[in-house]
Amino acid sequence: MMSKKAWITALIFIFAIGIFTSLWIIFKPYGDIVHIVQDNQLLYEIDLEKSDDHIIEIEYQGKKNVIQIENHEICVIEADCPDKICVKTGKLKSTPIVCLPNRLVIEFAEKNDFH
C-alpha cells in the first residue's frame, strides 16, 4: 500500500498536469484551421492537421502565388509579386502571410471562426 507522502505527491503531479493542459488549451495562439483569403473572399479553409502534403496555385490578374502544405505547415514558395515578402515570410506562425500586390492573406482562423 502507498504511503501518505506518495499519495500526496501523485495527487500534486496529476493536478499540475491538469492545470498545464488547461492553460495550454486556453492560451494556444491558434488552431489548425487556416484560411486563404483573396480580395476579402475565403478561397480555402484547410485543417492542417488533417491535410495531406500538396500545392495550391492561386492567380490574381495574371499573377500567381504557389502555396505549399507540407508536414502540417503552410507557406508561399513562389510568387509573381515584385517584393516576394510572402515568400520571405516562411511558414505560417502566429502572424499572417500577406501578399499585398496579389491581395492574398494566409492566416490561422480565429478559435470560434469556423465556417
Q: What pLDDT digit, counting tens, does each position of 58-77 carry?
A: 999 999 999 999 999 999 99
* CA 85/CA 101 separation, integer angstroms: 10
The CA–CA distances, whole Å, from 94 to 12, 15, 42, 67, 89 equal 33, 29, 19, 17, 11
Please give the model's pTM, rounded to 2 decimal places.
Answer: 0.70
pLDDT (tens digit per residue) in 25-38: 666 556 789 999 99
The CA–CA distances, whole Å, from 57 to 2, 28, 54, 77 equal 61, 30, 10, 10
* CA 64/CA 80 separation, integer angstroms: 6
- The pLDDT confidence band at residue 83, using thresholds 50, 70 and 90, is very high
CATH number, span 33-108 = 2.60.320.10
Higher-pLDDT residue of 54, 18: 54
Higher-pLDDT residue of 1, 69: 69
Q: In the chain, how long is the greatest CA-to-CA distance?
A: 74
Higher-pLDDT residue of 67, 23: 67
Q: Which three cell numbers stand for residue 89?
A: 515570410
Quick one: pLDDT at residue 115? Answer: 47
- Mean pLDDT computed over 67-94: 94
